[in-house]
A and B are shown apart, each in its own frame.
Chain A
Amino acid sequence: MNSIHEVREEARKLLEEKRVGMVIGYGKGKGKKNYPIFITDPQKVEELHFESDCFYNLAVYLRKPEVCSHGKLAIVVKGCDARSVRGLFSENQLKSEEVVMLELKCDAKGIGRDKCTTCRVKNPLTPEEKNPIDGEIAKILAMPMEERFRFFAEEFKRCIRCYACRQICPHCFCKTCIVEKSEPQWISSTPSPLGNWSWNFTRAFHLIGRCVECGECARACPVGIRLDILNRYLAKSVEEKYQFIAGMDEKAAPPLTTYKQNDNQDFIR
């Protein structure tokens, strides 16, 4: 779809014909602000908007129990969000017949976030070939090992464990997060330098092959930890090593749930 008018029309039809129970989209606040809205009444589809600052990745709401209770759902998606939804399909978190995607082209300019400079899915269905060059990653790779370690340790030290990164991520879908497990406790829940390192490291690891580089984690982080750099780097590695791009093909098996007999093992003695 090319315009919000088409989206509204489609949403109205879906709701009227009771093909979906709820439409998740962007609403307009005062001034330029947008926020997620949830529409169940076909009369209210005019409240759907799409303009600058629609940075939210709405796919995160697809797993909220109060949203799921509405049955089939329709969701307004930009390119990055569409990847999330397909990623959830490929990991069997959602069934494709349960979700209608209302795809919108996004020029990423209005959104204007860091995440948009490396975006390759401005048009949800025709991804660009290569990841644009990522200066942030190059900067890290140019650092000697100890400097890298200090850089990330300093970033992680600021973490206050509000878990906004996890809560805003559509791919952090575990019912019980590893940091909430206490028997045994793998990761300390105390916001201390050690526990923070393990928490942020582990979250990045758990998103390998899942992260669609929507950048919401870094946007949400109240203390400005650059989680996006970590996740983008891993997404890039997964692509280079396994030719896998998360959320592009809902039929493709996520890279860590499969293997090839001739996978690289240069690093193994």
Chain B
Amino acid sequence: MSMNMNMKFEPKIMAFVCQWCTYTGADLAGTSRMQYSPYVKIIKLPCTGRIDVQFIVKAFEEGADGVIVSGCHPGDCHYTSGNYYARRRFEMFHELMSFVGVDMRRIQFAWVSAAEGRKWAELVNEVSKRVEELGPFNVFHALREQANELNP
């Protein structure tokens, strides 16, 4: 990721969201014409319980600089308990990621309900600003570049 000094770094941020709460919340932010950072790319999934941590790893493999994972508040899951399972999984994911040296300011978990359009916009802005300040995820991108230069 070479960057011209004059060019502004535009982070790539992936958001994995549940379709019932956060996606609808993001929709609300849109229909309410709230302005928020354009760096985020949303992928809609049925439930946070469906979000395999492999998605997050893959996002970084494909060049993401930051990741958002968001779904229904505890107690509000459309499938009753998907987000409870997800919460434990993400807690351990958080542990492992930081143990292997991934700066966890690049990954944000959140609960955003269908009514919280404003919270969604704030969340995206906050993460975008933070990742922008952190700069590109160079240590990880370096692995990718080495992999693309497979020849020894």
> Real complex partners, A and B?
yes
Using CB atoms and an 8 Å cutoff, list the residues of chain A in contact with chain B. Answer: 140-141, 143, 145-153, 178, 186-188, 190, 192-195, 197-198, 201-202, 204-205, 208-209, 230, 233-234, 237-238, 241-242, 255-261, 263-265, 267-269
Q: By the criterion CB–CB under 8 Å, are A230 and B100 in contact?
A: yes
Top 8 closest A-B pairs, CB basis? A149-B101, A148-B101, A194-B147, A259-B84, A192-B147, A269-B110, A193-B146, A268-B109
Is B79's beta carbon under 8 Å from chain A?
Answer: no
Q: By the criterion CB–CB under 8 Å, are B99 and A140 in contact?
A: yes
Is B81's beta carbon under 8 Å from chain A?
Answer: yes
What is the size, in residues, of chain B's interface with A at 8 Å between Cβ atoms?
39
Distance of A269 Cα from B98 Cα, bound (Å): 18
Q: By the criterion CB–CB under 8 Å, are A256 and B74 in contact?
A: no
Chain A residues closer than 8 Å to B53, beta-carbon distance: 205
Distance of A234 Cα from B94 Cα, bound (Å): 11
Distance of A242 Cα from B96 Cα, bound (Å): 15
Chain B residues closer than 8 Å to A268, beta-carbon distance: 87, 90, 109-111
Smallest beta-carbon distance A203→chain B, Å: 11
From B92, which residue of chain A is reached at the shortest CB distance? A208
Distance of A187 Cα from B62 Cα, bound (Å): 12
Is B10's beta carbon under 8 Å from chain A?
Answer: no
Distance of A261 Cα from B81 Cα, bound (Å): 9
Chain A residues closer than 8 Å to B90, beta-carbon distance: 267-268
Q: By the criterion CB–CB under 8 Å, are B61 and A149 in contact?
A: no
Q: By the criterion CB–CB under 8 Å, are B146 and A205 in contact?
A: no
Q: By the criterion CB–CB under 8 Å, are A230 and B99 in contact?
A: yes
Is B45's beta carbon under 8 Å from chain A?
Answer: no
Distance of A265 Cα from B74 Cα, bound (Å): 10
Distance of A152 Cα from B87 Cα, bound (Å): 26
What are some 7 contacts across the A-B interface (CB < 8 A)?
A152-B101, A188-B147, A201-B96, A230-B100, A256-B92, A257-B85, A268-B111
Chain B residues closer than 8 Å to A242, beta-carbon distance: 88
Distance of A207 Cα from B24 Cα, bound (Å): 34
Q: By the criterion CB–CB under 8 Å, are A148 and B99 in contact?
A: yes
Q: A194-B143, A205-B53 are in contact. List 13 more A-B contacts (CB 8 A).
A: A145-B101, A145-B102, A149-B100, A153-B143, A188-B147, A190-B150, A201-B57, A201-B100, A205-B96, A259-B85, A263-B88, A268-B87, A269-B111
Chain A residues closer than 8 Å to B92, beta-carbon distance: 205, 208-209, 234, 237-238, 241, 255-256
Q: By the criterion CB–CB under 8 Å, are B89 and A256 in contact?
A: yes
Smallest beta-carbon distance A202→chain B, Å: 7
Distance of A187 Cα from B57 Cα, bound (Å): 9
Chain A residues closer than 8 Å to B99, beta-carbon distance: 140-141, 148, 230, 233-234
Is B33's beta carbon under 8 Å from chain A?
Answer: no
